[in-house]
Amino acid sequence: MKKVLKLSFVFWLLFACSTEQETVQQEKKQDNTITLEAFKKATGLKDFGSTIRIPHKSGDLAARNAGMEDFIIDSEFIRQTLIDQKITYSFSIEPKVIKAQRTLYNLIVYYAHGSWQFSILEMKPSFAKFQQIKLGEEVKLDGEISEIYHTDTARGADCSMFSMEIHHCTHTGECRSGECDGCSLCVTYINFKVCRFDTEDYSTATYIEPENSNDGGGGGGSIPIIDHEYVFVPNFSPGNIRAIRAERAGLFYDVLTPEQQAWANSHAENYNAVINYFLDHYYTGDVGFAIEALEALMNNEEVDFPKKIIYAIQDKPCQTAIIKDVMESCSPFTNLINNTFNVSEKVNIKFLNGEIPNNPDALAYTNPSPLGSPESYAIRIKFKNSYLISATDLSIAAVTLHELVHAYLINQFMHGKLLAENTEYNTLLNAFLTFYANENSQTGQTLQDEMHYAMSVFIDRIADSLYNYAISKGMSVTPEYCKAIAWGTMSGTPMFTEILNPEQQQEYENTAAIEQDNLSGAHGTPCN
């Protein structure tokens, strides 16, 4: 059974050196940093990479070997220290899947038993001290430390002793003024032990009480240190970016369900995409989309993080590619859509496929009830499966543009901008309010009809975007042909029959049907 690790340790703390304490005079070289190139040259570790993989931490050796955990190595800032001709290098590292809010890691590289060895230390400062570390302050830090991995198979059965080198300099001592040079009042050591992975005492450490401190100085003298396996200097990158990431990413991990956490641990690369989005939008509080994106990835759906689009269309990669091309196309209307949804921290779009039971004749349906909360919600656009199978790419593009107008109007209402869009949208506004006050088939149909009336001013923009798409795909079409298809997507709505005469209705319906069913004369190409 693994014991609970209890170790109080201190970083950058000036300890008073007691003359009564047994000491050993040490040869001390000033601590400094080293470049990755110099490190490789000094150690001969020419293949030293950017990641390291270790067994998952567990007191049970068999459990450790059951899975692997990856760490990312920060090679921009490497610390080295030299004691008694023994040199040690320390790297700040970060697990690919960050699980704890206030846990920091160092990779220690040291020479022992004829070769270079690796050791990974896990450090857990208290909450208050962690906040000070993030600010780069030199603080007394109470917490826990444990070794979670090492490569040194020659250590033997007994526990090994380690020393942490602590720096603190006030430039006031008699030794010299200026930067700390490693004199005894600027440097002290915290000693602790770790034991073999397969022993009962694995990852336990000696409990150390914080010693009394004074205001420091630069005086010379001896260094209190015991016989050790290695001495290391804790490495936290300048600016403590990893400390900040660890806290925020750990906070996100804490809100996940056990199922989501299990997926994160087994899909580190995909999970990191979610975490990076969360961290990039941390100050906006946009947690909702990060959670929704994680669930989408768990379902093997595709997420476009920059555009905040989830492609959940199952088993139809060709049709998904068509919709993506529409979203990537450049036209005044698609630019309006992208500028509306990409910059909003509240809303995203989700494309799906399946049956549409509430409107079986529809080719696609934009659900007016956003999924989520007012702080973060998704507007869902669903395509009918049978339609996606028969339609050409030109028809799918036209229907996508049609549904994006629905999404745009829903979003304008949710943001309170509907009347700013058009002062004549009072009837549409009332339809939205009535629907959300009492959602049923009747209020839903009224809302759909009013949105279609409002969409009459978007026909030319849909046609222009569709023409740009067709030309980009090498289709030989005219703007008039694309406008007929745009109007054809309105077939079956009150707006279609009230605005157009019978001849126009027939022409536009026939033109749209050619592409919808891939009939003779179609300019587009179906996926199947």
- Residue with the two structure tokens 């403590």: 240
Residues 6+ apart with CB under 8 A from 255: 287, 291
Residue 236, Cβ density class (10 Å: 0-12 exposed, 13-18 middle, ≥19 buried): buried
Cα distances from 249 to residues 74, 97, 261, 345, in angstroms, run: 17, 9, 12, 19
Phi, psi of 297 (to 5 degrees): -65, -35
Say what the pLDDT of residue 466 is: 97
pLDDT along the chain (528 residues), means of 10: 32 26 35 85 92 65 50 88 83 85 87 89 77 64 73 68 60 45 53 54 37 37 49 68 76 90 90 88 74 93 91 95 93 88 78 89 92 81 96 98 96 89 90 95 95 95 96 96 98 95 97 97 94
Cα–chain center distance at 382: 27
Say what the pLDDT of residue 160 is: 65
Say what the pLDDT of residue 29 is: 40
| CA dist., res. 210 & res. 208, Å (int) | 6
Say what the pLDDT of residue 272 is: 87
Q: Please give the helix or strand (H or E) that residue 472 lies within, else none.
A: helix 459-472
Say what the pLDDT of residue 349 is: 93
Please check whether residue 96 is in contact with residue 70, taking contact to mean a CB–CB distance below 8 angstroms. Answer: yes
| CA dist., res. 368 & res. 492, Å (int) | 19
Phi, psi of 230 (to 5 degrees): -155, 160
C-beta atoms surrounding 484 within 10 Å = 21
Residue 527: DSSP 8-state: -
Say what the pLDDT of residue 354 is: 94
Say what the pLDDT of residue 383 is: 98
Residues 6+ apart with CB under 8 A from 37: none
Q: What SS3 state is found at 97?
A: coil
Task: Give the DSSP letter string of 296-343.
Answer: HHHTT-EEETTTTEEEE-TT-HHHHHHHHHHHH--SHHHHHHHHHHSS
The size of the chain, in residues, is 528
Say what the pLDDT of residue 212 is: 35
* Residue 306 identity (one-letter amino acid): P
Please check whether residue 304 is in contact with residue 337, taking contact to mean a CB–CB distance below 8 angstroms. Answer: no
Cα–chain center distance at 338: 22
Phi, psi of 324 (to 5 degrees): -60, -45
Say what the pLDDT of residue 136 is: 64
| CA dist., res. 51 & res. 94, Å (int) | 9
Please check whether residue 390 is in contact with residue 517, taking contact to mean a CB–CB distance below 8 angstroms. Answer: yes
- Residue with the two structure tokens 């091309």: 325
- Give the 3-state DSSP-derived string for 427-439, with helices as H, strands as E and coil as C: HHHHHHHHHHHCC
Please check whether residue 337 is in contact with residue 400, taking contact to mean a CB–CB distance below 8 angstroms. Answer: no
